[in-house]
Structure 1
Amino acid sequence: MSTHVIKPGWFTVNVFNRTVSWLTRRGISVWGSRVLAVRGRKSGQWRTTPVNLLTVDGQQYLIAPRGHVQWTRNMRAAGGGELRLGRKAEAFTATEVADDDKVPLLRAYLKRWKAEVGVFFKGVGPDSPDADLRRIAPDHPVFRITVTN
Structure 2
Amino acid sequence: MAHYIKPGRLEARLVHGTVGWLARRGLSLAGSAELSVRGRGSGEWRTVPVNPLDAEGGRFLVSARGDGQWVRNLRAAGDGRLRVGRSTLPFTAVEVPDEEKAPLLRAYLSRWGWQVGRFFDGVTAKSSDEELRRVAPRHPVFRITTTPGAGTRG
TM-score by length of 1: 0.97
Distance 1:92 1:52 in 2: 15
Distance 2:56 2:85 in 1: 25
The Cα offsets for residues 97-121 of structure 1, whole Å up to 9 and x where unpaired, read as 0000000000000001111000000
Shift of 1:122: 0.5
Paired position in structure 1 for 2:67: 68
Distance 1:22 1:58 in 2: 29
What SS class does the counterpart of residue 41 from structure 1 fall into?
A: coil
Is the contact made by 2:52 and 2:59 (CA closer than 8 Å) also made in structure 1? yes
What SS class does the counterpart of residue 142 from structure 2 fall into?
A: strand
Paired position in structure 1 for 2:118: 119
What SS class does the counterpart of residue 60 from structure 1 fall into?
A: strand
- Output the amino acid matched with 1:109: Y
Paired position in structure 2 for 1:51: 50
What SS class does the counterpart of residue 91 from structure 1 fall into?
A: strand
What SS class does the counterpart of residue 6 from structure 1 fall into?
A: coil
How many residues are paired up? 148
- Output the amino acid matched with 1:62: L
Distance 2:64 2:75 in 1: 16
What SS class does the counterpart of residue 137 from structure 1 fall into?
A: helix
- Output the amino acid matched with 1:142: V
1:1-149 to structure 2, matched below 5 A, reads: 3-148=2-147, 149=150
Root-mean-square deviation (Å)? 0.9
What SS class does the counterpart of residue 52 from structure 2 fall into?
A: strand
Is the contact made by 2:56 and 2:104 (CA closer than 8 Å) also made in structure 1? no
The Cα offsets for residues 47-80 of structure 1, whole Å up to 9 and x where unpaired, read as 0000001001441000000000000000000001
User: Which region of structure 1 is more displaced relative to structure 2, 129-138 or 56-65?
Assistant: 56-65
Distance 1:21 1:65 in 2: 17
Q: Name stretches of at least 5 consecutive residues in structure 1 with no aligned partner.
A: none
Shift of 1:16: 0.5
Shift of 1:12: 1.4
Distance 2:117 2:101 in 1: 16
Is the contact made by 2:38 and 2:45 (CA closer than 8 Å) also made in structure 1? yes
Query: Once superposed, which parts of structure 1, at least 4 consecutive aligned residues long, lie more than 6 Å away?
Result: none
Q: Name stretches of at least 5 consecutive residues in structure 2 with no aligned partner.
A: none
Distance 2:82 2:23 in 1: 10
